[in-house]
Structure 1
């Protein structure tokens, strides 16, 4: 494989993209697939929902595949036009040269995607790393955002590094060494509070095995950076999220986001359970009906 690739071999890429295809087959809605050329590389986008529906951009979580986190918001497809790009430099079909989540690169990438679809401004949803991308957009191009929903968001406050080392990094090193499901199960249970679906666990394990993981978190956002951002914002955070626990990020979020209309604390890990996804979608639809 080339120097710029995130995959460890051609076979590795085939394994991950097959997971991608299999996940799309689980959807109960039709998906169009588009490619958009940007200054950062070619971007693959999943598009779904009624053509006349209001547009929503949904950004995937880091170190996973786009359809996995898109599936969490599938009920929105009935009424909204969904644009879900494969993040450049992450598993999927977009180009693989990573771009920085610490400067204006992602906002420029988003602007080019929006221009391609003739969207001036719209709503945004992002889980985890995807939320960190939205916060970069809020910093550099706040006028692009009508409202935003940040789920288990990166870019606000990190959890305990010692806990992450003990419960994620060490089992990950042992998984790499042994390929034992015991360590993968331990990581999956910590990430999801014992609720991760088997299909997601398998994909996460193969991403760990076959790709070079993105290790840089999006920049932690400051109050000054968001001084011009005043769009209504909903945050959904997990009390058991090892990466971005609600107890750590709620106070900071309230201090930096001027129009944080709601911050919902769920009794969940970084990955929501099926029950949490149902509740989350109800609250997101209610939020969108009010502010979008």
Structure 2
């Protein structure tokens, strides 16, 4: 486990305010629950009908939970959503980092499920959150009734050269100058020029005030999923610099014994609103059939 704060200067307060402001935009009641786990205290957002089927929704990496939660708001109408702040990422969970390369996230998830007395359920995860689901699929596949992986980490990476050129170098210049020009470049490359201004501001503050999680979730192997047989939907972006569709689909067909469906859109790593409407339709149709 990593030690010390992930925040720099006034970062914890700044990101907490962004978090609170984002929640005010949700037009439904959100419960905030703290759960003690062996990996640290975990804060969760809980919403949706209490009697509805549960879905665990994992956030993207190096951002705040309400941001990626907001991508999947239609799910709240028909499902009980449990969305934990990933330990070691911005939010209200403990700040110590846990490995996404072994069984740590699977054990952490299992403890959260036990707290809410959920034996198994559906899981949805964008980006880093998909990588967490794949660790669960590797070590505790029976916990997953079905899974939706959106712009998923943990399957295959994009071109390192492209990421250096379009993300890392502008980030270095942004750190050195604080010029919005470089933040705009990063946001445009991440979202195919569709990122909301609010999200761009938050991402900029994450870059300023957070020691970024730089370790991607482990790339999952075919052997690791030998015992995983749950229906799985993957949704990928053709313009995603981090996890591009053409690399994801090739690897996914190899490692998943039962890939149920694969959808792709002309989107970046951050989906535009038009793509989110399609994505949520895809997810709802998938859940109707398999959950």
Instruction: Indicate whether the TM-score tops 0.5.
Output: yes
Q: Alpha-carbon deviations, 1:208-259, whole Å to 9, x = none?
A: 0000000000000000000000100000000000000000110110111112
Counterpart secondary structure, 1:36: strand
Shift of 1:28: 1.2
1:280 aligns with 2:269: no
Could you tell me which runs of 5 or more consecutive residues in structure 1 were left unpaired when the two chains were aligned.
none
SS of 2:224's equivalent in the other structure is: helix
Q: TM-score, normalised by structure 2?
A: 0.99
RMSD over aligned Cα atoms: 0.9
Is the aligned partner of 1:82 residue 2:92? Answer: no
Tell me how far 1:104 sits from its aligned partner: 0.2
1:5 maps to 2:23: no
CA offset digits 1:146-200 (Å, max 9, x no partner): 0000000000000000000000000000000000000000000000000000000
Paired residue total: 290
- 1:236 partner SS: strand
| Residue deviations 1:86-125 (CA, integer Å, cap 9, x gap) | 0000000000000000000000000000000000000000
What secondary structure, in the 3-state scheme, does the structure 2 residue paired with 1:45 have?
A: strand
Gaps of 5+ in 2: none
Q: Deviations over 1:9-39 (max 9, x none)?
A: 2x21100000000000011111000000000
CA distance in 2, matches of 1:139, 1:17: 33
**What is the alpha-carbon distance in structure 2 between the residues aligned to residue 234 and residue 95 of structure 1?**
31
- Map of 2:144 onto structure 1: 145
- Find the aligned partners of 1:29 and 1:283 in 2 and give their Cα distance: 23
Give, in angstroms, the shift of residue 3 of structure 1: 5.5
Contact 2:37 2:111 in 1 (8 A): yes
CA contact (8 A) 2:6 2:212 kept: yes
Distance in 1 (CA, whole Å) between partners of 2:216 and 2:156 is 11
Secondary structure at the aligned position of 1:83 is classed as strand
